[in-house]
Structure 1
């Protein structure tokens, strides 16, 4: 009986392709790798995973063997790596323990590369999503805003060029709806305050003999909806509608002023509420809705020759009124207002006389230095919105519809 079994085993050995047999100088790991290499590269008809399992006396099914190979060896790339070692005939000096360590190191290296690739894909997909959202927003605004008709101009009674005025406005937070202890706010209330402001400004300019008015907007025109989740509870409109409505109204506001005055409109291109964020994600804060608002105000008023709208780049702007150098930005990152004029003068190698900021929601005017004929001042422009629940909770206060007006001689 024993002789019969030996004869059967010998017959099996004769049937097996000699190249699939284990060589004398091969350990189990090298032998297994060689069989897998033949299977994956040549796809021979007489070698399958089941055959390899039997040849190496693997205890388990062929799927376990395949998964063990993919997991342990790290896939075909690692397998190719060790096949190169075999081809270079340097495996004779490598022990099973060293081979396993090399395989694990290679597996970690591949895992790092895979994570890098996945991270790149995630960032790319995130950028594509954000870009698509911006395009959708642009498309909605383009379809919703049309050219505004030129108003019926009134004769400018005083035009001697000896005086120019500046009207500072900031922090509309358009789209917010609330009732606080001393204030309430909505779209209609915003329109009411701004219309009143336009009438009072025209009257004040007539009294002071001003024919040319600079209108300075220090940002946060919209409440936004991506700064923090708590915003969602007090929104009257979504972000797209906020942008469309405020751009359309500001064009009408400037049109109204231009009936009696020459207007130059300066618009700061930043504001923390108008940043595009995904609830705290600051990856796209350089994309700001103020940029969209000013571009469309510029475009829909292009037929009104009494309104000049310079388009600025960057998060700050500067311009001159007579010999006064004016600097403005939203102001959310200003830590030391007493030093700001000295700092920006040093940074931009130009002396500034007045710096305007918004953001704080209350009016403040401080002298920081002096020139030969005037003081150098920092001016905070209050919010049209006024105090809200946040102001009440933190005892900040804030004057509603209080606007900085200044005559520069």
Structure 2
């Protein structure tokens, strides 16, 4: 047999390497399996069948594929770990950014609170709020007056309603007067004032911003001063007055609800302002919320009454949801937000929806939701809620 150079065992080439080279280069060398068997016999004296070398190459190819697969898997694993590391890195960066934002927002609100208190003291010097000792009630009845959806700052002028800052102040006077009238009629001892949110118009929608006559900071200042003056007036008429407050959706800092954080709300300024402005009135208490900043829980004549704005609750589900959530059974749940008069009992719990003080604006008109401007006062005794007065404005 004529043997050409590539077929021969190379210098420093082991027998195993020689065998691997022959079987892996069989086609390029122009060899048959019988040729490889003969070459192996010539070099080693070992007689091997054609099938032996065919199976040997098959194992080599299989092992090579397996090694390639393992390398590929290791590469994929390394790549996955790099991606996971990058994800964790971005998570940490996001957390740090959010943490810095929280600190910045807290600092901003703390600074704003300090500035408001300073401004309140300055206003108090220029425009002191007068207070007189009220006449003591002979009975033990209590009342809840609902303040909600004033939307101060918005201007409406349509067939169904007219509203502007001047009309706002006229309606507030009527609200205070009627609250005193109905409270005196029932010889109310303690008056609970629920601020259920959306006291300002805010910057929630583009249509609202167009209709606003004042920026939101000015809105909050005017409304906070108005509430302070109303509470002072009520404190002169009733033996004990308690003021509670929750956030709405129009008073949030961010217009986009998906970007908004519950704790970022201009509504928080109202109780700060009121507390500083009325601190000299001994029978007026500004009550902090115990469970949540968006939930009022009050003891009224020995009964639990809950107050929420309503933008996170459905009237048909709020009784069940809040009783389970708070693990308590109220006699009444008061809501705003819906801008119309509505009351219904659910398994012994009265769900009471307060109308809006601002009345029908252009947005409500366009979606065909017309309502009368009004607020409510509820009278309670030891048996529970005995009546509701709708104060038309």
* TM-score normalized with structure 2 length: 0.68
Partners in 2 of 1:187 and 1:291 — Cα distance? 22
Unaligned runs of at least 5 residues, structure 1: 1-92, 371-375
Is 2:264 aligned against 1:287?
yes
- Measured against aligned partners, the alpha-carbon deviations of 1:107-137 in whole angstroms (never above 9, x if no partner) come to 8678657755664565456546645653554
Is 2:308 aligned against 1:329?
yes
Q: Look up the match of 1:271.
A: 248
Partners in 2 of 1:116 and 1:209 — Cα distance? 60
Between 319-328 and 108-117, the greater mean CA deviation after superposition: 108-117
Partners in 2 of 1:124 and 1:348 — Cα distance? 29
Partners in 1 of 2:159 and 2:325 — Cα distance? 43
- Please, which of 364, 368, 380 is the counterpart of residue 408 of structure 1? 380
Is the contact between residue 168 and residue 405 of structure 1 (CA under 8 Å) also seen in structure 2?
A: yes
Partners in 2 of 1:280 and 1:338 — Cα distance? 23
Partners in 2 of 1:346 and 1:121 — Cα distance? 36
Between 133-142 and 259-268, the greater mean CA deviation after superposition: 133-142
Q: Look up the match of 1:5.
A: none
- Please, which of 357, 364, 383 is the counterpart of residue 384 of structure 1? 357
Q: Look up the match of 1:348.
A: 326
Is 2:213 aligned against 1:236?
yes
Is the contact between residue 268 and residue 329 of structure 1 (CA under 8 Å) also seen in structure 2?
A: no
Is 2:288 aligned against 1:299?
no
- Measured against aligned partners, the alpha-carbon deviations of 1:315-344 in whole angstroms (never above 9, x if no partner) come to 111111223211111111212x34433432
Q: Look up the match of 1:395.
A: 368
Q: CA deviation at 1:377?
A: 0.9
Q: Look up the match of 1:193.
A: 171
In the superposition, relative to structure 1, how do residues 193 and 116 fare at CA in structure 2: closer, same or farther (>3 Å)?
same
Q: CA deviation at 1:404?
A: 1.2
In the superposition, relative to structure 1, how do residues 191 and 177 fare at CA in structure 2: closer, same or farther (>3 Å)?
same
Unaligned runs of at least 5 residues, structure 2: 1-66, 382-393
Q: CA deviation at 1:385?
A: 0.8
* TM-score normalized with structure 1 length: 0.66
Partners in 1 of 2:172 and 2:205 — Cα distance? 27
Is 2:190 aligned against 1:218?
no
Larger Rg: 2
Q: CA deviation at 1:303?
A: 1.0
Aligned length: 306
Q: Look up the match of 1:142.
A: 117
